[in-house]
């Protein structure tokens, strides 16, 4: 949605007081170009975590190169309720768009990523969801590394996290299980600090078909529960606020913003050691003494590798890029969870004028004491579900494709109930959005170079619904949402579908024809923002994959990838909790191996 610049002008926010350490705005000020132990490409979620953990050892020196700007003092990043102002079309976003999606009527769909310290954790929706235990056990299985088992990772989940009280001080007993959460970690996580009438409508709907779950981070997330978000004391907790801000005074940690990495290479022999980046339009080489760590994210890490001649040899040769190492999986197996936002009109109309007043009041309240609507990200409740096996369609689907989730207690789809935002005011205005997300996508896409401009935006192809089971699961996810709202309370609240395609589906419900359902799905499918897999882990020695389970790029010395591109499968949830765990583990492995 497009931010309203007039309203942004109303944001007379108090300036954030903090003793900021050194962030080099001008790369000319970086003190040395050949003395750092590690050069980390990308100061996003994983890059910030690893930089912070590695520099706990005062002998380890780290330079972080971040293409975007600093997050510090940026109100639309700090205030959770202003999250949608950081979308495409701002300096905080890479503004990428997919190639036309052949199974989605050739629609192009967004591919946003954070272009700022903290990366996508500075612009994301702040949902904190770990997925299921079977997701991580499958990683262990696929990579042959038992360190990825859910049980083994529990210490890292806790190490990264501090579960903190919500700012409204409400009684959280029964809203999460404290035993599952960390209390000493840098990343602040909380349940919603502002209640909405929607919360009770959701909780009042729960029954045996849609059960309550006390804490969906228990490894078996089936049910509706209270949303946990990366928010503390009313403000966004990102990798940059949690892992960088308090440690920038370390003399062994340097962070350079406005520094766009272009390629990596071996300056002497075959060990990768140098990063070429541009700052102020000029190229600069920086050499790492120990290793180069790529953390540029799911789209840009493969982009940098391909530009550096590490990728499929024939594809590189076709683009006249000298082949440094033939690694065909680079940029392949891109995985994203398709999502559909079903929009409804409600019987609770709020005029645009009233929404604007509410919005201004909420901003004023946040300014005065960090409470009120602005401390919420998107929604206080979220549900995870499995397909209904009593349905003949689901039985046929399972018969043909087998169990699509990695385990019997792992969900197939997610349902997200949300008050709709008004496009002008970015504030609740009488509509309701129900997101249906396919959590078990089998379609695999790609990130490739654009031959017209290899240094420009990569070609991003989610390739949604190329695997036929994915749209069949999406049908069930949409039906699940319709079933949820089929009760009298919900029918009183919702007056009409807000689009004719959804209205056609609703008219036929519950016996929705495949044609009507698929017309809706193909026209409205978008992303859930959880792309992974473009530089997947695989077992050491495997003939596919990009990195070994210890993050080393296969067949290339001196180089690791430490970001979400290494996930071989998407966890059944939002990806950031898994990203924090990957980064915490990467830091430990890197510390142990030097």
Q: How far is the CB of 90 from ligand FAD (least distance, A)?
A: 11
**In the sheet where 445-448 sits, what is the strand order?**
332-334, 445-448, 459-461
Catalytic residue among 103, 303, 552, 574: 574
Q: 273 or 418: whose CB is closer to ligand NAG?
A: 273
Q: How many CA atoms, within 13 angstroms, populate the side-chain half-sphere of residue 37?
A: 14
Which residues lie closer than 8 Å to 159 by C-beta, 6 or more apart?
A: 182, 184, 185, 584
Q: How far is the CB of 257 from ligand FAD (least distance, A)?
A: 9
Of 36 and 490, nearer to ligand FAD (C-beta) is 36
CB of 505 to ligand FAD, least distance (A): 26
The tokens describing 132, both together, are: 């299921």
> Judged by CB under 6 A, does residue 284 bind ligand NAG?
yes
Give the residue closest to ligand FAD by C-beta: 44
Pick one of ligand NAG, ligand FAD, none as the site partner of residue 370 (Cβ within 5 to 8 A by kind).
ligand NAG
Of the ranges 36-44, 90-98, 121-129, 287-295, which one interacts with ligand NAG (CB under 6 A)?
90-98
CB 101 within 8 A of CB 94: no
Residue from the set 12, 32, 73, 89 that interacts with ligand NAG by CB under 6 A: 89
Distance between CA 9 and CA 23 in Å, rounded? 27
303 is catalytic: no
Contact 322, 77 (CB under 8 A): no
Who's near 369: CB < 8 A, 6+ residues apart? none
**For residues 424 and 437, what is the distance between their CA atoms, to the nearest angstrom?**
26
Greatest CA span in the chain, whole angstroms? 71
Task: Give CA 533 to chain center in angstroms.
Answer: 13
Q: Which of ligand FAD, ligand NAG, none interacts with 396 (beta carbon under 5 to 8 A by kind)?
A: ligand NAG
We find the least distance from the C-beta atom of residue 277 to ligand FAD, in angstroms, to be 6
**Residue 314 CB burial class (10 angstroms; 0-12, 13-18, ≥19):** exposed
Instruction: Answer yes or no whether residue 326 interacts with ligand NAG by CB under 6 A.
Output: no
Q: Are 335 and 570 in contact (CB under 8 A)?
A: yes
Given the complex with ligand NAG, which of 323 and 433 has the nearer CB atom? 323
Q: Which residue, 303 or 332, is less far from ligand FAD as judged by CB? A: 303
249 in contact with ligand NAG (CB under 6 A)? yes
Residue 555, binding choice from ligand FAD, ligand NAG, none, Cβ under 5 to 8 Å by partner class: none
Q: Supply the minimum distance, in Å, between the C-beta of residue 31 and ligand FAD.
A: 19
Closer residue to ligand NAG, CB minimum distance, 124 or 431: 124
Distance in angstroms between the alpha carbons of the first and the last residue of the chain: 46
CA distance readout (Å), 211 to 141, 222, 452: 30, 8, 52
Residue 574 site contact among ligand NAG, ligand FAD, none (CB < 5 to 8 Å, cut-off depends on kind): ligand FAD
User: Which residues are at the interface with ligand FAD (CB under 6 A)?
Assistant: 41-47, 65-68, 112-115, 119-121, 123-127, 260-261, 295-298, 300, 304, 529-530, 563-564, 574-577, 579
Q: Which is nearer to ligand FAD, 84 or 252 (CB)?
A: 84
Establish if 280 lies at the interface with ligand NAG (CB under 6 A). Answer: yes
As measured in angstroms, the least distance from the Cβ of 425 to ligand FAD is 20
Q: Which stretch binds ligand NAG (CB under 6 A): 54-62, 186-194, 348-356, 585-593?
A: 54-62
- Residue 67, token pair as written in the block: 């293409």
Binding segment for ligand NAG (CB under 6 A), chosen from 91-99, 211-219, 301-309, 478-486, is 91-99
Q: Find the shortest distance in angstroms from Cβ 317 to ligand FAD.
A: 23
Please report how close the Cβ of residue 59 comes to ligand NAG at its closest, in angstroms.
4
The alpha carbon dihedral of 132, 137, 138, 139 has a sign of positive
DSSP 100: P
Residues 6 or more apart whose CB falls under 8 angstroms from that of 506 comprise 482, 497
For 177-215, the DSSP string reads -GGGS-BSSSEEEEE-SS--HHHHHHHTT-SSSS-B-S-
287 burial type by CB count under 10 A (0-12 exposed, 13-18 middle, 19+ buried): middle
Residue 552 catalytic? no
CA distance 455 to 7: 35
Catalytically annotated residue among 71, 103, 303, 530: 530
Binding mask 167-186 for ligand NAG (x = CB under 6 A): ----x-xx------------
The CA distance from 428 to 426, in Å, is 7
**144: contact with ligand NAG by CB under 6 A:** yes
Q: Does 393 bind ligand NAG (CB under 6 A)?
A: yes
Among 276, 348, 466, 516, binds ligand NAG (CB under 6 A): 276
Integer CA distances (angstroms), 521 to 74, 231, 249, 430, 470, in order: 36, 33, 50, 24, 11
Any binding-site annotation on 99? no
Query: So which residues are the catalytic ones?
Result: 530, 574
Chain residues in the site for ligand NAG (CB under 6 A): 26, 28, 57-59, 89-91, 93-95, 102, 105-106, 115, 141, 144, 171, 173-174, 233, 249-250, 267, 276, 280, 283-285, 328-329, 332-333, 365, 368-371, 393, 396, 472, 513-514, 544, 568
* Residues tagged in the binding site annotation: 116
């Amino acid at each position: 949605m497009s931010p309203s610049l007039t309203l942004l002008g109303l944001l007379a926010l108090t300036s954030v007081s903090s003793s900021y350490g050194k962030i080099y705005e001008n790369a000319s000020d970086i003190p040395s170009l050949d003395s750092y132990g590690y050069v980390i490409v990308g100061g996003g979620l994983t890059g910030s975590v690893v930089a912070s953990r590695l520099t706990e050892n005062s002998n380890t020196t780290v330079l972080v190169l971040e293409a975007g700007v600093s997050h510090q003092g940026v109100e639309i990043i700090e205030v959770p309720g202003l999250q949608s102002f950081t979308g495409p079309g701002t300096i905080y976003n890479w503004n990428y768009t997919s190639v036309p999606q052949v199974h989605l009527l050739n629609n192009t769909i967004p591919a946003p990523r954070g272009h700022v310290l903290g990366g996508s954790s500075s612009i994301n929706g702040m949902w904190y969801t770990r997925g299921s235990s079977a997701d991580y056990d499958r990683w262990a299985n696929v990579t042959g590394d038992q360190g990825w088992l859910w049980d083994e990772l529990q210490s890292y989940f806790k190490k990264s996290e501090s579960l903190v009280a919500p700012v409204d001080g409400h009684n959280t007993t029964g809203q999460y299980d404290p035993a599952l959460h960390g209390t000493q970690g840098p990343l602040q996580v909380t349940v919603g600090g502002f209640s909405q009438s929607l919360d009770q409508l959701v909780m009042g709907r729960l029954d045996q078909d849609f059960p309550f779950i006390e804490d969906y981070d228990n490894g078996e997330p089936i049910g509706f529960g209270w949303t946990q978000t990366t928010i503390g004391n009313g403000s966004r907790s990102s990798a940059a606020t949690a892992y960088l801000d308090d440690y920038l005074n370390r003399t062994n940690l340097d962070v350079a913003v406005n520094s766009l990495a272009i390629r990596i290479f071996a300056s002497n022999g075959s060990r990768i050691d140098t990063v070429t980046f541009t700052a102020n339009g000029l190229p600069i080489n920086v050499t790492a003494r120990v290793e180069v760590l790529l953390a540029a994210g799911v789209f840009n890490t493969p982009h940098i590798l391909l530009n550096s001649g590490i990728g499929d040899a024939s594809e590189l040769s076709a683009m006249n890029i000298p082949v440094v190492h033939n690694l065909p999986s680079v940029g392949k197996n891109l995985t994203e969870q398709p999502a559909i936002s079903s929009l409804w009109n409600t019987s609770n109309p709020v005029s645009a004028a009233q929404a604007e007043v509410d919005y201004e009041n909420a901003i004023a309240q946040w300014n005065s004491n960090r409470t009120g609507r602005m401390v919420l990200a998107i929604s206080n409740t979220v549900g995870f579900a499995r397909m209904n096996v009593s349905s003949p369609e689901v039985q046929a689907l399972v018969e043909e494709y087998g169990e699509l989730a990695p385990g019997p207690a792992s969900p197939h789809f997610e349902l997200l109930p949300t008050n709709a935002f008004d496009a002008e005011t970015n504030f609740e205005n009488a509509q309701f959005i129900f997101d249906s997300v396919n959590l078990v996508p089998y379609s695999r896409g790609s990130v490739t170079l654009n031959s017209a401009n290899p240094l420009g935006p990569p070609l991003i192809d989610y390739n949604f619904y190329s695997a036929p089971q994915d749209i069949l699961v999406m049908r069930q996810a949409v039906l699940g949402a319709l079933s949820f709202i089929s009760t009298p309370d919900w029918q009183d609240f919702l007056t009409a579908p807000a689009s004719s395609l959804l209205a056609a589906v609703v008219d036929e419900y519950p016996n929705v024809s495949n044609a009507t359902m698929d017309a809706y799905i193909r026209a409205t499918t978008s992303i859930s923002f959880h792309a992974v897999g473009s530089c997947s882990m695989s077992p050491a020695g495997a003939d596919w994959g990009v990195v070994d389970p210890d993050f080393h790029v296969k067949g290339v010395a001196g180089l690791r990838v430490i970001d979400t591109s290494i996930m071989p499968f998407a966890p059944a949830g939002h990806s950031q909790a898994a990203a924090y765990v990957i980064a915490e583990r990467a830091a430990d492995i890197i510390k142990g191996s030097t």
